[in-house]
Structure 1
Amino acid sequence: MSQVPAATRALRVLRYLASQPDPVPLDAIVRACDLPRSTAYHLVNAMIGEGFVVHLAEERRYGLGVAAFEVGSGYARQEPLQRIARRPLAALVDATGHSAHLAVLHGRDVLYVLEERAPGRPPLVTDVGVRLPAHLTASGRAVLASLPPAQVRALYPDRTAFVDRTGRGPASLSALRILLTETRQRGYATEDGEVTPGFASVAAPVLDHNGYPVAGIAITHPSELDLPDLPTAVLATAARLTGRLHGR
């Protein structure tokens, strides 16, 4: 860790805080970001000085500051990820004949930021602006499987973190860990009937230059269809987006 630049450590702290539904104690930051306690303390204090972190002294917790909101607002206005993804997502839909979407992790949910609907296909719940539990969706699982285990553990501290929609899907951290291990071994994520009965999805993560999952890209199709080529198509599109985020 001593060889990691301070800026990289600070960005990891910001990413972690942004993934939490509420402010967190310093010990949670230490565990999730794999930092020495003294380093985490000095980092968050420097970030407090710049407005990116706020310290809630009465609660002994840390959360995102106004400066982080300003950065997020600027990103939302520019929509760079959606702009980069729009054409590859449309090409994926043309090649497969099924609807595709792009989602980003927001706390324990995924937020759908882009959808390309295939002609003649029914509307899905994954419309732009919709949030769904990450552990139930293929897009969310693709992202979670690419996160450090400590961050997944921080997101799902106990069984109350596991929301149910259709009576299917992991209901504990141990069950989620098994599912994410299978996802990593397979190379892509799946779900079948856990979001909407009768529909299944295949997804892959889009990674930044540090290998951090910034989004998940997925195809949704009727469960009864056997589509063995879908994972290859989704993985190729995710790799294309990953390359574009790297500037290639």
Structure 2
Amino acid sequence: MGRSVPAVTRALDILELFTTAEELSIPEIHARLGLPRTSVHELVGTLVARSYLAPSPDHPHRYRLGVGVFQLGAAYAERLDLAREGQVVAAEVAAACDETVHVAVLDGRDVVYIAKVDSTHPVRMVSAVGRRLPAHCTAVGLMLLASLDPETLNARFPLDQPLPALTPRSLTSPVRLRERLTRIRAKGLAEEYCESNDAVACVAAPVRDRGDRVVAAMSISVPTVRWSPERRDELGRLVADGAARLSKRLGHPG
């Protein structure tokens, strides 16, 4: 890898703030990143000129993501058959169970949702395509981590570093994580109960490509008020079938 370019890094840091904030002002960006205010003015001005940021219609001194970001994301999604095919199969699985269905990929220690179909129930999981969560706290993430070789897993999750928690039930022990992944490999399914959200349980299955590599995972997320051992088993069968169908669409021989 070549040397990082500080100006590019700072511009990307600014853009990434907008993954969790709809609008930000120059002072807010300055406060969050600790960059010199003059630098923030110049970087934001450049991003606006290139349409990656745009002034808010209602507050011209506040900024939001611009159409340039959408164009890049659309170009990426167009070339990523997994996202397009995942959305199709997720819709089929959601229609069968009327629960929220996700397809996610692994990015370092996190999962990123690339497809999602909502439940029609008034009580349902709130999430979005593009959302990022710690992999060890989610069923899709655990399923994807179970596919990693030991060397990669050790590099990303060293045994001497506790894991961050999202809820009191989240895994924090690297040793227990490895024990959990062993059981997931044996079963071929992953599940979690209130480990990423205090009120949600999930079950997930692996998605494989034509080379038999695990490239994604599909999950069904259910509010705990609708969760039971019987429902878990039913949804496990549905998500395994959905993941297998998505794998087939990606060229996996089955």
TM-score (norm 2): 0.65
> Partners of 1:165 and 1:210 in 2: how far apart?
34
Q: State how 1:1-248 maps to structure 2 within 5 Å.
A: 54-55=1-2, 75-160=76-161, 162-224=163-225, 225-226=227-228, 227=231, 228-246=233-251
Q: Which amino acid aligns with 2:240?
A: L
Say whether the 8 Å CA contact 1:98–1:121 is kept in structure 2. Answer: no
Q: Secondary structure at the match of 1:139?
A: helix
Deviation at 1:123, TM superposition (A): 4.8
Q: Which amino acid aligns with 2:184?
A: T
> Partners of 1:204 and 1:107 in 2: how far apart?
19
Say whether the 8 Å CA contact 2:210–2:252 is kept in structure 1. Answer: no
Larger Rg: 2
Q: Deviations over 1:130-174 (max 9, x none)?
A: 100000100001111122122111110245461111122322321
Q: Which amino acid aligns with 1:144?
A: L
Change (3 A) 1:161 1:103: farther
Say whether the 8 Å CA contact 1:147–1:212 is kept in structure 2. Answer: no
Identity %: 36
Unaligned runs of 5+ in 1: 1-53, 57-71
Q: Deviations over 1:56-75 (max 9, x none)?
A: 5xxxxxxxxxxxxxxx9964
> Partners of 1:247 and 1:210 in 2: how far apart?
7
Deviation at 1:247, TM superposition (A): 6.5
> Partners of 1:106 and 1:171 in 2: how far apart?
19
Q: CA RMSD in A?
A: 2.4
Say whether the 8 Å CA contact 2:211–2:252 is kept in structure 1. Answer: no
Q: Deviations over 1:61-93 (max 9, x none)?
A: xxxxxxxxxxx9964442311111122111101
> Partners of 2:123 and 2:81 in 1: how far apart?
28
Q: Secondary structure at the match of 1:135?
A: helix
Change (3 A) 1:120 1:162: same
Deviation at 1:209, TM superposition (A): 2.5
> Partners of 2:237 and 2:252 in 1: how far apart?
23
> Partners of 2:137 and 2:121 in 1: how far apart?
26
Say whether the 8 Å CA contact 1:159–1:171 is kept in structure 2. Answer: no
> Partners of 1:199 and 1:129 in 2: how far apart?
19
Change (3 A) 1:146 1:80: same
TM-score (norm 1): 0.67
Q: Which amino acid aligns with 1:138?
A: A
